[in-house]
Structure 1
Amino acid sequence: MIQSLTSEQIAIVLEANLTGKADGPLVSQIVIDSRNILQPENALFVALKGAKFDGHDFIEEIHALGVNVFLVSTHYKIPSKISKSAIFIQVEDTKQALQKLAAYQRHLFQGPLIGITGSNGKTIIKEWLGQILGQQYAVAKSPKSYNSQVGVPLSVFGIEAGHQLAIMEAGISRPQEMEKLANILKPQLGIFANIGTAHEEGFDSMEQKLAEKAKLFESCRFIIYRKEHAKIGQHLISVFESEKLVSWSDGIGADYVLTVKKEEDKSKILLIRPDMSVFTFHVPFTDEASLENIRHVITAALTLGMDPKLIQEGLNHLKAVDMRLTLKPGVNQSLIIDDTYNNDLAGLRLALDFMAAQRPKKRKILIISDLLQIGDISQVYEEVQKLLNYHNIDFLIGVGEDIGSLQGRLGFGSQFYRDTEELLRNLDLEFFDNDLILVTGARKFGFEAIVNLLQQRIHGTTLEINLNALTHNYNFFKTKLLPQTKVMVMVKAFAYGGGAAEIANHLQQLKADYLAVAYTDEGVALRKEGIRLPIMVLNPVQESFIHLQQYDLEPVVYSPPFFRELAKFCHVQQTVMKVHLDLDTGMHRLGFEEQHIADLLELIQKYPQLQIGSLYTHLVGADEEIHHDFTVGQLKLFMSMADEIVSKLDYVPLRHALNSAGIIRFPEYQLDMVRLGIGLYGVEVSGRFDSHLKPISTLKTTISQIKSLSKGDTIGYSRKGVMDQAGRIATIAIGYADGYDRRFSNGKGYVLIHGKKAPVIGNVCMDMAMIDISGLDEIKEGDEVVIYGPTISLKELAERIGTIPYELLTNISSRVKRVYYLD
């Protein structure tokens, strides 16, 4: 924060009621999550209500951590036991109050603020511009993609008194949101990146979305845009004075002409300025998206008066990398958190928070470079030291001149090196063993070389899991449920191919109520990885009874004989085990039928060692309208059977029947709990809310080799592929042993390279497949190939070969490396 405030000052700013003890502390930190409280004695906790939980529910817990100042709703009933030891600032709407307080802090900042909006590229433009301007100014930036109604205020609170310039991004998903963000940020310089289809469902038209986004710039002195984006230009010209508009273009007629000449792995950008002077920039990429983003950056830096030579110095350290936190398998059973572009305190805080949320390992190791922030160096590293102690780091490896100031001041082991090359020469891979390793550094240090060295050497094809998309999908389904309805999440079959341990850990962070696995060994593996949530085992066997007991797993019981066997085991072991009863209402797979109920009730009375945790049934066709009446019949039969069982118990088990499709189609039957499966992973099988879910996984591989072939040449086994005309094919590093279905052979399947379709030609092999890239330009060996993901519908691919998305997801081989990230 730019200025610390007393509780009384905050109450005045917010025009709020103040209750509680007098003489409160100065507030210098605003938090909305108990995991981010670094200095509780100086923190204000803002209780926000979201889809997952209500912050008011955690106030007593957070007060116990040492926080004494709370921003709460006027509807919140203050607990008597903390009413005299804490301060409560009461407002009608805590989110609006958070925004109002952020607007006040923004008013105190005297330096220029750059506001960025658009559909794509906002975060990359912000990060690159921050690195360029950071050579001359102490820069504050939005952490990652903090651009929402809550993210923007939190970003503003990250501006400190020593910052000279701020760069903030703003994103909206519906009308009337941007006014709130614009009122907070009030930027002097604006960048309109582009306009695309993201969040289109929230607006009546593309024109409405464009007009809403442009509201960010009402306070701007200058607004930067690309002239080729005609709709953006037309709108800006119609709304703003021409003196405010700064255009750039490939051709003449703009304020800045930035012409690109591509080379093999780099590009030249020829700048012709308004005064007709010329300068050539050199950038290390050739793809169109990066070239557009970097020209926004160059134009903004020039508009701020930065010397082109200094801009080029900054460009020398840029690379076309994903701006995201990524979790990767490492050597000796370690896990690596890749944050190899970060260079400021705000990013370090987020990376350490992400580290804290991962499943436990033997040690927490941080590999970090100098933080390239102009300002008070001693104050920056004093803050770093506090962060490391708060997050219980076990070992630090520092690279650079400034980070060495921590030497001798840490209460744990450390090593320091002058540069990355010296570290690489001395890095002993045997030092790492089952550790959690955060690698975070400024671009100039080239820390990707460290990540490459530490990564587990396995198959090059990767399955990327977007944890933010998973969170989005989980929250979407939560909005369809009553607050009291519990959520059991299916993580069987390696979490639908995504990797059970990491996904289960993320669900634990999201406060899911239950997990479900198919077999006992899956549950045992999760327990060994530190997963504490209750786990239901769908298909237990007698041989696994001892493991069910040992690892506190809850088996499904589906027949009288199985009930007896498990009950006898528990009797011999003198233990009580929670179980779940599967009631067969029409699936006719496993489960107690109506005629079994009498026997079941006798067994429950006879064997109290088995405590009934829940009663449930499987719906046969909840995703299809044609089966509506049958599904309703199943649900009514289940209710009848469950009522009969519960009437004989002196306790009430949970009841659950709805799967992902059932949550959408039959919300009136959500009962006590629902079972969320394929919907969590981004597939909405009923088709009603496809656009509301996000695919969480992207399967990628690379081009191994490119061949030029003549008309009539054949490709692959049995010569099934035939060239209709002369052209080129590419061999990609994925086959049916990786889970790429052989039915995609001979044109049934296709992949994307640089966003362009390339059909499969010939038969899919065990470890490779061939694709036809005839007519596709600028494709080379080593290029990335997308098999499926946000840009290729999994449902469409499944339909092409007559299967279902479940099969494609669960078929991905364990030899395919899973990579997890927050975008």
Structure 2
Amino acid sequence: MKYDIKKIASIIGAPYKQAVSDYGISVLLTDSRSLTFPEETLFFAIKTERTDASRFIPRLYSCGVRNFVAESYSSEWDGMTDTNIFIVPDVVVALQQIAAEHRRRFSVPVVGITGSNGKTVVKEWLYQLLREEYTITRSPRSYNSQTGVPLSVWGIEPDTELAIMEAGISQPGEMERIAKVIAPTTGIFTHIGDAHQENFTTFEEKILEKLKLFETADTVIYNADEEEVAAAITKYCKGKHLAGWSKHDPSAPVYVSQIEKKSSSTRIDIQYSGETISFEIPFIEEASIVNAIHCATVALLLGISPAKLSRRMMQLEPVAMRLEVKEGKNGCTIINDTYNSDINSLAIALDFLSRRDTSKEMPRRVILSDILQSTSDDARLYTRVAEMLTRCGVAHFVGIGARLCANRRLFPEGSEFYTTTREYMASGSIERYSGELILVKGARSFMFDEISEALSLKRHETILEINLDALLANYNHYKQKLSRPTRMICMVKAFGYGAGSYELAKTLQDAGCDYLAVAVADEGAELRKTGITMPIMVMNPEMSAFDTLFRYNLEPEVYSFRLLRALSRAAEAQGITKFPVHIKIDSGMHRLGFTPSDMPELIRQLSRGTALLPRSVFSHLAGSDDIALDAFTMQQIERFTRCAAELQRSIPSPIFRHILNTAGISRFTQYQYEGVRLGIGLYGVAPYDGETGLKCVSSLKSTILQIKELTPEETVGYGRKGKLSRPSRIAAVPIGYADGLDRHLGNRKGEMFVNGKHAPIVGNICMDVTMIDVTDIECAEGDTVEIFGNNIRVEELAGKLGTIPYEILTSVSSRVKRVYYRE
């Protein structure tokens, strides 16, 4: 659906002076890197504390975009006479105004979902339950923010019969704006938790803020057993149909009379409108049960029969809310997205593909199924798909499904087409792929997980999951503490604290990070080879690595006169001048660096030649996380400040200063100077007890290989150390000390997390296998086990071992596969 540009100007109240012929706008763009159809795009140059997206307007103009919304005009755009540039007070508000007007054009029922957890799962399960009755438009993935909501609502088309939208907030005042965009007719309050509580004065304030979504709703669905939520809804949603469900109150509109958990499924009995309705879901976790009851309530209110509901509930599929990046065979990298199949999610996946390899050295291949979740006619749909693939630089295309086969003429010559996944798997094509970046994108019914599995490099069943969205959230958590000019230096040394360097570096580069810091030159060289172009600091440069520093433009730390002289001679020998270096000051930690008494000689040697040029001067705080050491920390800062000033007076070019580490950013923000270094906090580990709001980045997981029933007289493991005091169920998990699991956690000192409960480790930890006691846990072979992550925090594990989180994270063996994903 297209909007005339004159209509756009009217909606946002911007002066309109036609510069060129009328444009039809079908794409609202907020991220310049996600450009697909420039001639139909309206770009919103959003300004934040960290960046002003109006700086991307010239580049987008060169790519063919001619319509822009910004908050101020720049003379840099004077030459772009064939453009429409709308100047508004607030770009995000303008985006929301356009989406709200689009929403007003449709009288279809809209389900609005809010809460702390479960929004995306409820949305996707509702889609699975209702897609046979309705043509549904829903939020892509977790598009529930101030910008995500309008982009989601923009997807409503004339043939949409039902819309399902998420709404998320993090602070007061946000919901009112996006509530006007969604304008739901039915509201769902999923669950209230502690997320973002630091931004609200009370728990009730957060609940009331979320309830603003339901102002236009006729019906509100909620868990009546959450007392604070129920009280607020009863008080503030008067006059609406309140469809609260309860496990305890038989008088509730929906009464959950029985829940029976089995080994791999759960039976739920509910009483609704005088009728008892039974259904089963293929999940046993409490969160899944709650989400399923929300969905069942909505389905019944929309008139789905109990028989249909019962059948479909058992067919609910897990919601893989993420794009996974996996190591593939023959040097390939696999992006696995068998989450859903629609044109919007394809655009998101292709954008993700483009950002994985900015150097474009790896040929890009896309394996795509028929797009089932679309109401467009096939010719128009697949013409658009072909254009998107071309714009993304896809070299090889594989189409699977009858519709793609029927429209093969729309795709480039050399594309492959198969009617079924089985036919493709039998073709042998997979074995010929080498050194490619491959996106596997398809509807679940095509069983594309088989393709992903066949492409993936096989290792054992223990993996380290890295949540790139959590990494970004932590980055922004600290970035918002800084003034705008302050540089952020992110530590990705030691293989990215065990998480893997490249994916983290690429994500941080895309986020606008100023510098990366690695331990040794070889780490930096590997990042350069994979397309990382941002400045890289090397913290421990070796004398033998000078050529690597020069070749890959890596900026070394200089901490001693010996290193300074050797590096200067090496640069002079190659005719290099003004090579950037970072001067390390020993302000009191006494590890590496020049002492205050060294400053005169340091200045003399730096002034004597032109080979090296100080880019920054820095020091390291010994105890910024410990309030008992605050006096010493201030001593260090004062010492460093004097040394930095002395150095700057002798060097004509500006030198930026940085002394704050992760704890320092939060506790000594006033000394951020021109730069800070973010380390352990980036990975979700709080550097001191008072730090809150961080998200878990790395989760070490495995699976249950086997479960055995043992009697009390039997023992478990080497040396018969695993004693049993009762009849027990013992599960074997394929992780051991060779994978980085510390042997001191054996014999019930440590535990793992299985299906919502903690399972103690029994007996000695072996090289490759560990046994856990699952006697009191409903579980089966093949179930997932968490060693550390959201449920067993790295800090908790470190405390048991008398060590620090750094050691836990960096101890995970390289044989453990890293799996990267975006939510």
TM-score past 0.5 threshold: yes
Deviation at 1:255, TM superposition (A): 4.3
Deviation at 1:623, TM superposition (A): 1.4
Residue number in structure 1 paired with 2:3: 4
Residue number in structure 2 paired with 1:399: 400
Matches within 5 A, 1:297-336: 297-307=295-305, 318-336=316-334
TM-score, normalised via structure 2 length: 0.94
- The whole-number CA distance in structure 2 between the counterparts of 1:540 and 1:465 is 28
Matches within 5 A, 1:190-209: 190-209=187-206
Cα displacement string for residues 602-627 of structure 1 (whole angstroms, at most 9, x for unaligned residues) = 32233311222222212111111222
- The whole-number CA distance in structure 1 between the counterparts of 2:205 and 2:762 is 43
- The whole-number CA distance in structure 2 between the counterparts of 1:473 and 1:66 is 35
Residue number in structure 2 paired with 1:102: 99
- Residue in structure 1 matching 2:671, options 651, 666, 669: 669
Deviation at 1:795, TM superposition (A): 1.6
Q: Does 1:568 align with 2:569?
A: yes
Going from structure 1 to structure 2, the CA distance change for 1:381 and 1:268 (only over 3 Å counts) comes to farther
Cα displacement string for residues 290-348 of structure 1 (whole angstroms, at most 9, x for unaligned residues) = 33323333332332234556556755754224221111111112111111121211111
- The whole-number CA distance in structure 2 between the counterparts of 1:33 and 1:172 is 20
- The whole-number CA distance in structure 2 between the counterparts of 1:801 and 1:275 is 56
SS at match of 1:566: helix
- Residue in structure 1 matching 2:13, options 7, 11, 15: 15
Does the CA-based 8 Å contact 1:394-1:413 persist in structure 2?
Answer: no
SS at match of 2:113: strand
Cα displacement string for residues 110-130 of structure 1 (whole angstroms, at most 9, x for unaligned residues) = 322111122221101111222
Deviation at 1:188, TM superposition (A): 1.4
Residue number in structure 2 paired with 1:744: 745
- The whole-number CA distance in structure 2 between the counterparts of 1:687 and 1:191 is 35
Does the CA-based 8 Å contact 1:109-1:161 persist in structure 2?
Answer: yes
Q: Does 1:210 align with 2:207?
A: yes
- The whole-number CA distance in structure 2 between the counterparts of 1:644 and 1:225 is 64
Deviation at 1:282, TM superposition (A): 5.2
Does the CA-based 8 Å contact 1:439-1:447 persist in structure 2?
Answer: yes
Does the CA-based 8 Å contact 1:290-1:320 persist in structure 2?
Answer: no
Going from structure 1 to structure 2, the CA distance change for 1:541 and 1:347 (only over 3 Å counts) comes to same
Going from structure 1 to structure 2, the CA distance change for 1:302 and 1:599 (only over 3 Å counts) comes to same
TM-score, normalised via structure 1 length: 0.94
- Residue in structure 2 matching 1:113, options 101, 110, 114: 110
SS at match of 2:160: coil
Q: Does 1:792 align with 2:789?
A: no
SS at match of 1:588: coil
Does the CA-based 8 Å contact 2:263-2:779 persist in structure 1?
Answer: no
Residue number in structure 1 paired with 2:804: 804
Residue number in structure 1 paired with 2:371: 371
Does the CA-based 8 Å contact 1:17-1:91 persist in structure 2?
Answer: no
Letter of the structure 1 residue corresponding to residue 809 of structure 2: L
Does the CA-based 8 Å contact 1:399-1:416 persist in structure 2?
Answer: yes
Deviation at 1:484, TM superposition (A): 0.8
Q: Does 1:717 align with 2:710?
A: no
Cα displacement string for residues 675-718 of structure 1 (whole angstroms, at most 9, x for unaligned residues) = 111111112213332x2111111111122233334446443334
Residue number in structure 2 paired with 1:533: 534
Residue number in structure 2 paired with 1:416: 417
Going from structure 1 to structure 2, the CA distance change for 1:346 and 1:616 (only over 3 Å counts) comes to same
Letter of the structure 2 residue corresponding to residue 59 of structure 1: I
Residue number in structure 2 paired with 1:599: 601
Cα displacement string for residues 485-536 of structure 1 (whole angstroms, at most 9, x for unaligned residues) = 1111111000001100110111111111111111111112111211111111
Residue number in structure 2 paired with 1:265: 264
Residue number in structure 2 paired with 1:580: 582
Matches within 5 A, 1:477-556: 477-556=478-557
- The whole-number CA distance in structure 1 between the counterparts of 2:22 and 2:338 is 40
- The whole-number CA distance in structure 2 between the counterparts of 1:42 and 1:506 is 28
Moved more, 456-465 or 697-706: 697-706
Going from structure 1 to structure 2, the CA distance change for 1:675 and 1:447 (only over 3 Å counts) comes to same
- The whole-number CA distance in structure 2 between the counterparts of 1:361 and 1:318 is 40
Does the CA-based 8 Å contact 1:51-1:478 persist in structure 2?
Answer: no
Residue number in structure 1 paired with 2:627: 625
Letter of the structure 1 residue corresponding to residue 299 of structure 2: A
Moved more, 706-715 or 620-629: 706-715
- Residue in structure 2 matching 1:67, options 54, 65, 68: 65
Cα displacement string for residues 336-374 of structure 1 (whole angstroms, at most 9, x for unaligned residues) = 111112121111111111111113452111111111135
Matches within 5 A, 1:469-480: 469-480=470-481
- The whole-number CA distance in structure 1 between the counterparts of 2:469 and 2:676 is 22
Residue number in structure 1 paired with 2:612: 610
Going from structure 1 to structure 2, the CA distance change for 1:131 and 1:639 (only over 3 Å counts) comes to same
Going from structure 1 to structure 2, the CA distance change for 1:728 and 1:267 (only over 3 Å counts) comes to closer
Residue number in structure 1 paired with 2:157: 160
- The whole-number CA distance in structure 2 between the counterparts of 1:443 and 1:315 is 16
Residue number in structure 1 paired with 2:354: 356
Q: Does 1:124 align with 2:121?
A: yes
Matches within 5 A, 1:133-152: 133-152=130-149
Deviation at 1:770, TM superposition (A): 2.5
Q: Unaligned stretches of 5+ in structure 1? A: none
Going from structure 1 to structure 2, the CA distance change for 1:654 and 1:174 (only over 3 Å counts) comes to closer
- The whole-number CA distance in structure 2 between the counterparts of 1:101 and 1:761 is 60
SS at match of 2:24: coil
- The whole-number CA distance in structure 2 between the counterparts of 1:748 and 1:88 is 64
Residue number in structure 1 paired with 2:658: 656
- The whole-number CA distance in structure 2 between the counterparts of 1:471 and 1:384 is 29
Deviation at 1:478, TM superposition (A): 0.9
Residue number in structure 2 paired with 1:681: 683
Going from structure 1 to structure 2, the CA distance change for 1:312 and 1:323 (only over 3 Å counts) comes to farther
- The whole-number CA distance in structure 1 between the counterparts of 2:215 and 2:652 is 65
Deviation at 1:99, TM superposition (A): 1.6
- The whole-number CA distance in structure 2 between the counterparts of 1:623 and 1:741 is 26
Q: Unaligned stretches of 5+ in structure 2? A: none
- The whole-number CA distance in structure 1 between the counterparts of 2:612 and 2:62 is 37
Does the CA-based 8 Å contact 2:171-2:199 persist in structure 1?
Answer: yes
Does the CA-based 8 Å contact 2:370-2:442 persist in structure 1?
Answer: yes
SS at match of 2:99: helix
Residue number in structure 2 paired with 1:223: 220
SS at match of 2:681: helix
- The whole-number CA distance in structure 1 between the counterparts of 2:61 and 2:603 is 47
SS at match of 1:781: coil
- The whole-number CA distance in structure 1 between the counterparts of 2:240 and 2:675 is 59
Letter of the structure 2 residue corresponding to residue 185 of structure 1: I
Letter of the structure 2 residue corresponding to residue 603 of structure 1: Q
Deviation at 1:263, TM superposition (A): 4.7
SS at match of 2:137: strand
Deviation at 1:23, TM superposition (A): 4.6
Moved more, 515-524 or 667-676: 667-676
- The whole-number CA distance in structure 2 between the counterparts of 1:674 and 1:440 is 39
Going from structure 1 to structure 2, the CA distance change for 1:232 and 1:667 (only over 3 Å counts) comes to closer
Letter of the structure 2 residue corresponding to residue 455 of structure 1: S
Cα displacement string for residues 785-813 of structure 1 (whole angstroms, at most 9, x for unaligned residues) = 11111222222221222111111111111
Does the CA-based 8 Å contact 1:19-1:89 persist in structure 2?
Answer: no
Q: Does 1:93 align with 2:95?
A: no
**Where does structure 1 differ by over 6 angstroms across 4 or more consecutive aligned residues?**
none
Moved more, 734-743 or 672-681: 734-743
Moved more, 90-99 or 18-27: 18-27
Going from structure 1 to structure 2, the CA distance change for 1:253 and 1:132 (only over 3 Å counts) comes to same
- The whole-number CA distance in structure 1 between the counterparts of 2:333 and 2:385 is 22
SS at match of 2:25: coil
Cα displacement string for residues 521-566 of structure 1 (whole angstroms, at most 9, x for unaligned residues) = 1112111211111111111222212222222222222211222222
SS at match of 2:107: coil
Cα displacement string for residues 239-272 of structure 1 (whole angstroms, at most 9, x for unaligned residues) = 4457723345568545456655555434555666
SS at match of 1:215: helix
Letter of the structure 1 residue corresponding to residue 207 of structure 2: L
Does the CA-based 8 Å contact 1:137-1:374 persist in structure 2?
Answer: no
Does the CA-based 8 Å contact 1:558-1:581 persist in structure 2?
Answer: yes
